[in-house]
Structures are given as C-alpha cells and as structure tokens.
Structure 1
Amino acid sequence: MTHPEAVFPANRHALYEQHGYSAAIRTGDLLFVSGQVGSREDGSPEPDFADQVRRAFANLEATLAAAGCSLDDLVDVTTFHTDPENQFGTIMEVKNEIFPAAPYPNWTAVGVTWLAGFDFEIKVIARVPARG
C-alpha cells in the first residue's frame, strides 16, 4: 500500500507554516496540489492582479517540480476567481502565455467571494511521471 507523502517546493513559503497544510500530497503516481495563490515568499499577496496570476502559476510550477512533474503532467485544473467577469480577460492572457497551444488541460473555473486576501487560486491533480 502506498502511503501519502507531503511535497513542498524548494522555496517553501510562509503560508504552508502559517496555515498548517502541505503544498501537495503524492500518493502512488498521482499528485494532489493544494490551491496555489499569487503569494510572495513571505505569504503576502502580489498586489497587481496579472502578476498575482503569474506568481500563482510560478508557485504551482515550483510545487510540481518538487514532485518531479511539470505543467505537461496536469490531469485536472480548477481555478477560483473573486470577480470572474472582470478578471476573465487578464486570466486568459496569462493562461495563453502558459498554455500557448493545444492540447490544453481540462479546466474548471469557479467564482468565489473570498480567497484570504487573494483574487486567484489554482489547484491541480497531476500524474507523476515514471522514474527510470
């Protein structure tokens, strides 16, 4: 039986300690990544919205890398938005920078009213590549 293993990026930021959660949990060949926000290393939000979205993706990529994964290994993507109608254009710009060509990952976007001071959050499930 495979036991879940906590995964943290090399530059583990303060939010994990402050709120008592793991960046990701690996179990077997699946990686379940906690919601990643556009936080700086000290846990504070990036003030500019587009930069906050970019930083959320950078934090996601660091967490994926710590488990030997990349954006190419994504199986499921869910994003949370505090003002989807007004943020959509900016989010699509950043999304197109990160995923410039098909095949695109599957994606579910959810409008929410609160993200602890942030305006964008991304959580994913990834398949961990076989080690060899």
Structure 2
Amino acid sequence: MSRFQFAGAHHLDQIRREGVWRFGAPPTGVHWRLGIPHWWSRRMVLAEERSWRSLPSRPYAARRDWTERGEAPGEAPGPATLTSLYRQLRKSFEDAKDEPGAADFSYGEMEMRRHSAVLSRGERLLLHLY
C-alpha cells in the first residue's frame, strides 16, 4: 500500500481491511533546518502525501528525503484533498477498532490541515503547536 494512490476513490471510510496493510513512512533520522534539528514522527503515510511533500515547488529543506529511491516526484493532490483522504481512512480504521492506525491517519489529517491555505494564521499556529 506504500505506493497505492487513493485520490479519486469514493467511500474510503467504508473500506474493510483484511490482513496486514503496509503504508509508506516518513523519512527517518534528524534533519537540520536553520540550525534547528527536526525529525518526523513514525506513522503511516499515504503515497499522495509523499508525492506532495517531494514536489519541486516546495522548499528543498521541506521536500528532502520524501522521494523513494528510484522514484521521481510527479503530480500530487493538494493538502485539502489529502485532508479528506486521511479523514476517510481514519474513519475506516476507527470502525475496524484499530486505534493506533486511526491515530496515524488523524495526525496526517492534522498535518494536511496545517498546510492548507484556507486556515487563518491563528489556526495554523494552534495545529503547529499541537
């Protein structure tokens, strides 16, 4: 599932999963930006988010290490679409009583809301602090 594209699918909240689903993961290790160490939390990540984060239009420090080896950045949906995808998949995981998986998708939803252009600076700050 690490390369599966969910964008354009309908009723993702009604998906019933069987077996083990392996989604992508954020980059590992410490990354330095402006002399400040940053690291990504371990969570499940959609392929669309990896594509969006690795777009050439994003700053280099923000997109570094998000492209899988041998994969070229391509088209990606925006944060609003990713928010919806994460919300629907979170609902699916909650219905399946998979709380850790639902928490990962809830965090992904929050991250995409934080990057959305429709938020005020105050809302964006609150999501960043959270």
Q: Is the TM-score greater than 0.5?
A: no
Bigger proportion of residues as strand? 1
Bigger proportion of residues as helix? 2
